[in-house]
């Protein structure tokens, strides 16, 4: 694989594509790679291509860059497929927030669990099925590196609906959590050792050490001295559960029933309800700035992001061993979580590919929360696999933050409203409106 072909699906997510390319083309062994870009938005695809050529020039790379409106052309012969699609784009994201808000349901990010996560998954699954079929046909030995959220639902659906086995979900949350913890304690990141496991956006730092010293007591001392640190959800969860969660407070608040429903907790823990809407607007603005700068021939900053996909590709191509955190089906990796669920664990990567490592059993309080998360995921996936619209409602009923806020009748009605709002983005069997059983 001297000149690997790397297909970017959803390359119009230009800022993300830029960061990945900056990392990829920094590796000498990947400077001659074939970068095949695909997006259904012609303007965004043109912008991604211009950005890729600029980054290649800045990195001194002789990469072959091609742009494809046809997805199959981008995939043919690929060794790696990076998926960053967002089905429905910003408009669908706004729907995910505005419709539930009419029922008094608060969300902060809305891309992993909750009503936002459920419907983001349901409008992504039809695309994933087609993508999986294309990969099986055109590049069956390729590694599919998924970045699209909801990560765990998407990876579970991909592996169950398509039969693909070389699928791993990649997320930077574990890495950046430990970078932030090291900085908080004024400890060089390169000097710490750690191990985490759980589910995406709700994994747990099980070991956090420096030179054999457990760093958790130092974190406890810092929290005791700094009252403002205690006004964050992840710190609150850590102090109650004994292990630090691997996602931001904004994310973490949505996966449990304790915070968003209560005005006092929103205030105490400084939760920015609807935060992702501002991020969505900024992402659109950032794209426009990049597009306009490229059109004017202005220089773009070429900055690495330390994302996992470039590291995985480099390790597979060169045999360089690395450890990354990946999201994969739980086939005996975490004993006290469901076997069919997708878990986040350390993975060894080398020329043999991505090899998940066994984590054993989680502390019971952590496994209890992860099992609830995976139960919601499973119902969403089953809804799509078995054409069962009732499972969409069942998933919403089991979701912790939704169930803490809404009556079951409002859960049922909200799901109907979301089906109406997302319309043809859903597979036909799930566009069904269901009468509330209480009305029968």
Beta-strand relationship, 5-9 and 34-38: parallel
Closest CA to 391 of 403, 375, 407: 375
Q: What is the pLDDT of residue 2?
A: 65
Query: What distance lies between CA 106 and its chain's CA centroid?
Result: 20
Beta-strand relationship, 353-356 and 342-350: antiparallel
Q: What is the pLDDT of residue 1?
A: 58
- Give the contacts of 117 (CB within 8 A, at least 6 positions apart): 110, 111, 149, 150, 153, 254
Q: What is the pLDDT of residues 37-58, one digit of tens each?
A: 999 999 999 989 998 998 999 8
314-317's contacts with Cβ under 8 Å and 24+ in sequence apart are 314/24, 314/27, 314/29, 314/30, 315/349, 315/350, 315/351, 316/1, 316/79, 316/80, 316/143, 316/349, 316/350, 316/351, 316/353, 316/354, 317/1, 317/4, 317/29, 317/30, 317/79
How far apart, in whole angstroms, are the C-alpha atoms of residue 18 and residue 22? 6
List the catalytic residues. 172
Compute, in degrees rounded to 10, the torsion defined by CA atoms 39, 40, 44, 48: 20
Q: What is the pLDDT of residue 110?
A: 92
Q: What is the pLDDT of residue 13?
A: 80
- Give the contacts of 153 (CB within 8 A, at least 6 positions apart): 117, 121, 342, 377, 380, 381
Question: pLDDT digit of tens for each residue in the chain (440 aa)?
Answer: 568 999 999 988 877 888 899 999 999 999 999 999 999 999 999 989 998 998 999 899 999 999 999 999 999 999 999 999 999 988 999 999 999 999 999 999 999 999 999 999 999 999 999 999 999 999 999 999 999 999 999 999 999 999 899 999 999 999 999 999 999 999 999 999 999 999 999 999 999 999 999 999 999 999 999 999 999 999 999 999 999 999 999 999 999 999 999 999 999 999 988 777 877 777 777 777 878 777 777 777 777 778 999 999 999 999 999 999 999 999 999 999 999 999 999 999 999 999 999 999 999 999 999 999 999 999 999 999 999 999 999 999 999 999 999 999 999 999 999 999 998 999 999 999 998 888 86
- Give the contacts of 411 (CB within 8 A, at least 6 positions apart): 393, 396, 397, 402, 403
């Amino acid at each position: 694989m001297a000149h690997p072909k790397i297909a970017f699906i959803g390359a119009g997510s230009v800022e993300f594509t830029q960061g990945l390319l900056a990392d990829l083309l920094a590796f000498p062994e990947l400077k001659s790679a074939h970068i095949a870009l695909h997006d259904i938005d012609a303007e965004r695809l043109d912008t991604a291509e211009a950005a890729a050529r600029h980054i290649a020039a800045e990195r001194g790379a002789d990469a072959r860059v091609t742009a494809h409106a046809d997805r199959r052309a981008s995939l043919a012969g690929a060794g790696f497929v990076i998926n960053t699609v967002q089905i429905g784009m910003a408009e669908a994201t706004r729907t995910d927030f505005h419709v539930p808000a009419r029922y008094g349901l608060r969300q902060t990010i809305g891309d992993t669990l909750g009503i936002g996560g459920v419907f983001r998954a349901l409008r992504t699954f039809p695309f994933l099925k087609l993508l999986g079929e294309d990969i099986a046909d055109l590049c069956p030995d390729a590694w599919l590196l998924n970045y699209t959220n909801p990560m765990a639902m998407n990876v579970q659906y991909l592996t169950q609906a398509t039969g693909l086995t070389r699928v791993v979900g990649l997320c930077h949350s574990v890495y950046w959590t430990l970078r932030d913890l090291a900085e908080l304690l004024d400890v060089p990141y390169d000097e710490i050792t750690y191990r985490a496991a759980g589910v995406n956006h709700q994994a747990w730092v099980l070991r956090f050490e420096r030179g054999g010293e457990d760093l958790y007591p130092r974190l406890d001392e810092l929290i005791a001295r700094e009252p403002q640190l205690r006004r964050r959800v992840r710190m609150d969860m850590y102090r109650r559960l004994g292990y630090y969660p691997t996602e931001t407070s904004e994310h973490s608040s949505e996966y449990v029933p304790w915070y968003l429903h209560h005005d006092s907790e929103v205030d105490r823990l400084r939760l920015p309800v609807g935060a992702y809407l501002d991020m969505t607007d900024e992402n659109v603005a950032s794209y426009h700035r990049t597009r306009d700068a490229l059109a004017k021939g202005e220089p773009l900053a070429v900055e690495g992001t330390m994302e996992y996909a470039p590291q995985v590709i480099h390790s597979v191509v060169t045999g360089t061993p690395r450890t990354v955190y990946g999201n994969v089906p739980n086939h005996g990796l975490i004993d006290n979580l469901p076997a069919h669920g997708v878990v986040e664990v350390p993975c060894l990567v080398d020329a043999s590919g991505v090899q998940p490592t066994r984590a054993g059993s989680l502390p019971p309080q952590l496994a209890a929360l992860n099992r609830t998360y995976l139960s919601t995921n499973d119902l969403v996936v089953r809804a799509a696999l078995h054409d069962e619209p009732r499972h969409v409602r069942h998933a919403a009923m089991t979701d912790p933050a939704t169930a803490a806020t809404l009556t079951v009748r409002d859960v049922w009605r909200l799901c109907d409203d979301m089906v109406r709002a997302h319309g043809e983005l859903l597979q036909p069997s799930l566009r069904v409106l269901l009468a509330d059983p209480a009305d029968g």
